[in-house]
Every structure is written in C-alpha cells, then in structure tokens.
C-alpha cells in the first residue's frame, strides 16, 4: 500500500477567479485533494460562488471535499455559527450546572434538519466528490481525565430533548452522573446525524465519498475524551463512511504518540475495510526542526496510512492562526506531498 491522496484545507469562499489562482498553487504543492471549509455564513451569503469554486478546483485536477466547517460549533473550527445566532434554543446543556452552552445540540430535530439541509444543498448544487466530517463532538468533556476522576466529570448534553429521548429509551430519568447507558446513548445519537445525512448524500450521488474525522484521542482503558466519537469501532464500522480519519497531533508531542495514534487509526480502518487518513499540522505551530515533518510523513507511510491531509493552505498565512514561518511550512508540506506520491 502507498499513500495516494494528499489533501489540504482551504477557506474563504468568495471570488472564483481568486480561488482559481490558489488552486494552481495547491496543485503545484502536490495536493490531489482540496477540502473546502464552508462556513454557515458562506452558505448563506456566498452561495452563488460555491459551485463555481468547486468546478474551478476540479478543472485544476483536484478532488473536492466539502467540510461544513465549525457548523453549530458541533464540528471543529474557528468560524462563528449562524444557527446559534438565530436560535435561542436547541443548545447543549451542562449535566452538572444545567446551563446552556454555546454549542448546538445535534440530537435535536432542529439542528439535525439544519445540518441535513446545509449538506444536501451542497450535494445537489455542486459537483463535489464528497464530504468531510470535521471533528464532530459534544461540548463537554474534552480535558485529559485523570484516572481518579476530576477534570472531565461534567458532560453534555442534558437538554430537554436529550433527556426525553433517553427516558423513553431506557425507562428512567437521564442521570447527572455519566453511566454506561449515558455513554451508549451519546455514542448512538452522535452517530445518527452523520449517518442519516451521509445516507441522503449518497442517494443524491452514490459516488459521493464520506470521510469521518474524529479526535486523535488516547482512548486507553483509563482515559477517553468522551466527546461522542471516541468509540472508534462504532465510527469505523459505519457503512455510510468511506474513510476513517483522525485529527492533527501537535508537533511537540513525542513521536511515540504519533506512532500509537496512527497504528490504531490504520487498524480501525482496515478492520472495517475503510481507507485510513492521518493529518499534519500546517498552521499555528511548526516543528522546531522542519525535518520532523519529513519523519512524520515517513512514519505515516510506513504504518500503512492511505491518505494524508493538512490544515491548512499556506500554513494559515494571513490569519491569527498562522504558523510563525507559514509560507515555509507550506512549501515543506508541498515537498513532502510530491515526494510521497512518487513512491
Ligand atoms: Zn441535547
């Protein structure tokens, strides 16, 4: 096996003629795929440009995946959410304090409809090759839980709609302390919104490819993040997803961590006959020695990863999350992508 797909994310859906020039640069950097990070504002305001931008990327020979970036603050990302702006309800609720959180509850019919309509509009009206589910998650918890409890104890979502669903299924009030029923409920409901939308996308275009990208969590006997998609078996086994992907690992983490996460990502994907994908951090921070990127790419390749992806175009140049040497980092990514595709 060898790495055959190399992706980079791209944002700023505005003028197609500007995007065209950027896609030339992206193709020159050895990318086979561009992941368009489409915000709620883009869909609402810039929609007429989006199908043209997709076509422009395809004309340059790039595959195009659509990422409903940061939608409802349910997916990862810095974008702001129109759903949260336009709805005072349907938010996740802290189990411990009962407070509403600034995250849409994706177990509500309201957000499920919103998400489905967002994606199906894109599926119907663009020629994209597929969709990218980008770090979906419950608001809480996320911290590294201690093996004796503590930091990660509070959780979401215990909103009225989740409580009603839980009680009708399990026959008792949803508890405030997370038990095994709550864990199972959270996993099942979290998967529903993505599977339902993926299924409908594939009805519109059976060739549409779905990548589900979950947090690169430790997932050991003692420690999991409990953000709803940390049961990798459940995610990778889903018949609606084609690629099992795990997110960026910070450069300063030990190589052993890269190895462990990657080996488990590949194993989970293989077990369910899916493609595996690993990410490269190409924004915000950079390795002390850029040669670390070469080593990580070689490691991913040696462990049997099928696809590479990087966040983001030009190392985040021009944004508040640019890497210190953003353009150099971007060029190093390009060198690595071109090198790995030759193998
Ligand atoms: Zn809820």
User: What does the pLDDT look like over 163-212, one tens digit per residue?
Assistant: 999 999 999 999 999 999 999 999 999 999 999 999 999 999 999 999 99
> How far is the centre of ligand 1, averaged over its atoms, from the C-alpha of 104 (Å)?
8
98 CA distance to ligand 1 middle (Å): 11
Residue 97 in domain: no
Global pTM?
Answer: 0.97
Residue 199 domain flag: no
Contact in structure between 172 and 92 (CB atoms under 8 Å): no
CA of 220 to the centre of ligand 1 (A): 26
Task: For residue 252, tell me if it sits in a domain.
Answer: yes
Distance 162 CA to ligand 1 centre (A): 4
- Percentage helix, strand, coil for the chain under 3-state DSSP, each rounded to 5: 45, 15, 40
Strand partners, 109: none
Question: Does 273 fall in a domain?
Answer: yes
**pLDDT exceeds 60 at position 99:** yes
Q: 28-32, 46-50, 152-156, 275-279: which range is least confident on average?
A: 152-156
Ligand 1: distance of its center to the CA of 280 in Å?
Answer: 32
Is residue 306, in this structure, part of any structural domain at all?
A: yes
Element holding 337 (H helix, E strand): helix 326-341
Look at residue 330 and tell me if it is in a domain. yes
- Residue range of the domain that includes 322: 5-87+109-139+209-341
Q: In this structure, is residue 155 part of a structural domain?
A: no
Distance 121 CA to ligand 1 centre (A): 25
Are residues 286 and 251 in contact, defined by beta-carbon separation less than 8 angstroms? yes
pLDDT digits (tens, 9 = 90+) for 29-39: 999 999 999 99
Q: How far apart are CA 305 and CA 293, in angstroms?
A: 15
CATH number for the domain spanning 27: value is: 3.20.20.80
Residue 218's pLDDT is: 82
Q: Tell me if 40 is assigned to some domain.
A: yes
Residue 18 to residue 26: CA distance in whole angstroms: 13
Query: How many domains does the chain contain in total?
Result: 1
Please list, in sequence order, all residues whose beta carbon lies within 8 angstroms of the beta carbon of residue 168, skipping any fewer than 6 positions away.
none
Contact (CB, 8 A) for 62 and 72: no
pLDDT on residue 139: 93
Strand partners, 307: 5, 277
What is the band of 277 on the pLDDT scale with cuts at 50, 70, 90? very high
For 261, phi and psi rounded to 5 degrees?
-60, -45
Q: How far is ligand 1, taken at its centre, from the CA of residue 37, in Å? A: 25
**Ligand 1 center to residue 328 CA distance, Å?**
43
Residues 229, 237: Cα–Cα separation, whole Å: 12
C-alpha of residue 123 to centroid of ligand 1, in Å: 27
Q: Cα dihedral sign for 154, 156, 161, 166?
A: negative
DSSP, res 174: P
């Amino acid at each position: 096996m060898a790495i055959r797909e190399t992706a980079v994310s791209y944002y700023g859906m505005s003028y197609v003629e500007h995007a065209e020039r950027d896609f030339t640069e992206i193709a020159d950097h050895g990318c086979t795929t561009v992941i368009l990070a489409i915000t709620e504002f883009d869909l609402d305001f810039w929609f007429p440009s989006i199908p043209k931008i997709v076509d422009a990327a395809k004309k340059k020979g790039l595959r195009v995946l659509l990422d409903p970036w940061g939608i409802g603050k349910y997916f990862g990302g810095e974008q702001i959410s129109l759903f949260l702006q336009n709805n005072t309800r349907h938010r996740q609720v802290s189990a411990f304090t009962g407070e509403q959180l600034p995250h849409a509850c994706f177990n509500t019919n309201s957000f499920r409809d919103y998400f489905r309509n967002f994606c199906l509009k894109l599926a119907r009206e663009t020629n994209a090759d597929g969709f990218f589910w980008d770090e979906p998650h419950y608001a809480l918890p996320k911290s590294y839980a201690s093996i004796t409890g503590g930091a990660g104890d509070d959780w979401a979502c215990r909103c009225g709609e989740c409580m009603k669903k839980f009680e009708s299924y399990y026959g008792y009030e949803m508890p405030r302390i997370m038990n095994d029923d709550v864990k199972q409920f959270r996993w099942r409901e979290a998967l529903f919104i993505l599977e339902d939308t993926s299924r409908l996308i594939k009805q519109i275009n059976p060739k549409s490819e779905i990548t589900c990208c979950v947090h690169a969590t430790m997932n050991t006997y003692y420690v999991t993040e409990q953000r709803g998609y940390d049961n990798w078996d459940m995610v990778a086994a889903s018949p609606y997803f084609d690629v099992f992907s795990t997110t960026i690992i910070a450069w300063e983490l030990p190589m052993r961590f890269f190895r462990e996460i990657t080996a488990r990502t590949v194993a989970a994907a293989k077990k369910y006959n899916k493609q595996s994908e690993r990410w490269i951090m190409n924004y915000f921070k950079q390795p002390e020695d850029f040669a670390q990127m070469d080593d990580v790419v070689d490691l991913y390749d040696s462990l049997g990863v099928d696809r590479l992806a990087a966040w983001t175009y030009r190392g985040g140049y021009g944004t508040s999350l640019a890497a210190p040497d953003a353009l150099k980092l971007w060029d190093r990514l390009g060198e690595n992508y071109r090198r790995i595709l030759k193998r």
